[in-house]
Structure 1
Amino acid sequence: MNLAFYKYQGTGNDFILVDNREGDYSGLTEEQIRSLCDRRFGIGADGFMLLNEKEDYDFEMVYYNADGREGSMCGNGGRCIVQFASDRGIKKPAYHFIATDGPHEATIEDGEVSLKMKDVESIQAYRTDSVLNTGSPHYVQLDPDVMHLDVFKEGQKIRYSKEFAEQGINVNFVQVKEPDTLIVRTYERGVENETYSCGTGVTAAALVYYHNDNGFNSVNIETLGGKLNVRYRREPDGSFNNIWLKGPAVKVFEGSISATDHD
């Protein structure tokens, strides 16, 4: 199978995207996808996405982790697939698409993509840290000097701990730089390593470290790959809604590859 692919990145979180509206690539196997994402023997990416047709929506996003397994929601991936849809001729003032965690809205303005995330009912306290689901499960831990932390070592400890090993969890280490500015580094399950950025992860961090008890919050996030913004409303009952993740989504290159070489 000859696969036409497109490589995109959102603050260094990089993805292989394919236009599957004709269903040509629906038969890709877990091993093929894992090989395509391999940074030494394939194209190289943190994840793989299919842009599918879906009735009543502009498109469907189907996301696979770098290990080849279908994954949960990816925030930066969601922003990249919106830009990809636009580049492929799906032009909309506002996008409505569906992903594994339900419907999403998105807009493109001034070279940045804003993606509406799922509402979050609550944050669970776990020891001195926090656990929540922003479309993917996340563990959030405060660190006073996150840029000098061994994220791979410390993230792996939590990800493969007895409590989280079976289902897997993404681990975020957060430094509060200012009340409305965070530095976030993330160990991602499925990649099993630190990534340059994680959209659902920075969203989780922004919700945990809100600066307004009730009402509107806007949190700036610094990651290894660049800057993102998360804005949302925090309600008196501790729930969160109207959550938007904003940042760049950039096409890197395109090409073709024989998927049969990777099965």
Structure 2
Amino acid sequence: MNIQFFKYQGTGNDFVILDNRNKQYSGLTTEQIKFLCDRRFGIGADGLMLLNTLEGYDFEMKYYNADGSESTMCGNGGRCLVKFANDMGIKKSDYLFLAIDGSHEASFGDNGWIRLKMKDVNEMDEDNGNCIVDTGSPHYVKIVNDVKKYNVFEEGKRIRNSKKFRQEGINVNFVEIEHAHIYVRTYERGVENETYSCGTGVTASALACAHNTGFNRVQVKTLGGELAVEFQKDEKDHFSDVWLCGPAMFVYKGEIELP
């Protein structure tokens, strides 16, 4: 079976995208998705997305991890799928689409960035001085010094596979606060490695660092580039109108034969 694929990336978080509006790829197996995301034998990506049609929405987002499992929300992926939908002829100034964690709004900014509305966050849990927050996917946020030299793989793997998180898994963000911005590195479950960027992780990190502060916008650096998180926060530290802002770019397209 030959399939046509498209490759997109958002701050180095890369995705295989399939146009599934005719449902021709709905029957992909876990092993086939894993193959497509494999960086040696397939195309190579942090995840795979399907662009589906859905009544009442501009499209539906279906996202899978690189290991072939269906995933929770992916912020960088959401922006890339908006860009893909636009490239495929779904031309709008404002989008409404459905993902696994609910509906999302999105729009194009003046600088070419895409603004993606994330879910509200009304609670944060604490674990040994670190923050646990769900921004569409669960994240463990740990503030560290000199994050560029931090052993993200080993420490992220340890936390993700600890007794408390082993069954469901959790993404682990390591954050250094640098004056007017934060620097975030992420170990992602499903990929089981560090990725260049993670949209829900960037969002979780920004909100955790804005906890009990007067900020309503946080500039974020990742290995793959820069993003920003905008939000409104009330006196009880409930976060609403949360927007993940950043680039999304087409890389290439091609055909591949599934085994």
Is TM (by shorter chain) over 0.5?
yes
Equivalent-residue separation in structure 2 for 1:161 and 1:238 (angstroms): 28
Partner of residue 226, structure 2: 227
C-alpha offsets along residues 216-243 of structure 1, whole Å, 9 cap, x if unaligned?
Answer: 6110000000000000011111210000
TM-score (normalizing by structure 1): 0.96
Equivalent-residue separation in structure 1 for 2:16 and 2:130 (angstroms): 33
Whether 2:185 is the aligned partner of 1:185: answer yes
Equivalent-residue separation in structure 2 for 1:75 and 1:41 (angstroms): 26
- Higher mean C-alpha displacement, 57-66 vs 118-127: 118-127
Equivalent-residue separation in structure 1 for 2:114 and 2:2 (angstroms): 30
Partner of residue 176, structure 1: 177
Deviation at 1:48, TM superposition (A): 0.1
Partner of residue 37, structure 2: 37
**What is the aligned-residue RMSD (CA, Å)?**
1.0
Equivalent-residue separation in structure 2 for 1:159 and 1:186 (angstroms): 11
Partner of residue 9, structure 1: 9
* Alpha-carbon distance change, 236 to 70 in structure 1, aligned in 2, over 3 angstroms: same
Contact 2:153–2:193 (CA<8 Å) still a contact in 1? Answer: yes
Contact 1:171–1:187 (CA<8 Å) still a contact in 2? Answer: yes
Partner of residue 238, structure 1: 237
Q: Secondary structure at the match of 1:45?
A: coil
For structure 2, the residue ranges without an aligned partner over 5 or more in a row are: none
For structure 1, the residue ranges without an aligned partner over 5 or more in a row are: none
C-alpha offsets along residues 143-173 of structure 1, whole Å, 9 cap, x if unaligned?
Answer: 0110001100010010000000000000000
Deviation at 1:32, TM superposition (A): 0.2
Contact 2:212–2:237 (CA<8 Å) still a contact in 1? Answer: no
Contact 1:211–1:217 (CA<8 Å) still a contact in 2? Answer: no
Letter in 2 for 1:242: D
Equivalent-residue separation in structure 1 for 2:255 and 2:116 (angstroms): 29
Q: Secondary structure at the match of 2:16?
A: strand
Displacement over 4 Å in runs of 4+: none
Partner of residue 153, structure 1: 154
* Alpha-carbon distance change, 105 to 228 in structure 1, aligned in 2, over 3 angstroms: same
Letter in 1 for 2:136: G
Percentage identity across aligned positions?
Answer: 59
C-alpha offsets along residues 52-102 of structure 1, whole Å, 9 cap, x if unaligned?
Answer: 000000000000000001000000000000000000000011000000000
Q: Secondary structure at the match of 1:23?
A: coil
Q: How many residues align?
A: 258
TM-score (normalizing by structure 2): 0.98
Equivalent-residue separation in structure 2 for 1:27 and 1:181 (angstroms): 43
Equivalent-residue separation in structure 2 for 1:212 and 1:133 (angstroms): 18
Contact 1:14–1:46 (CA<8 Å) still a contact in 2? Answer: yes
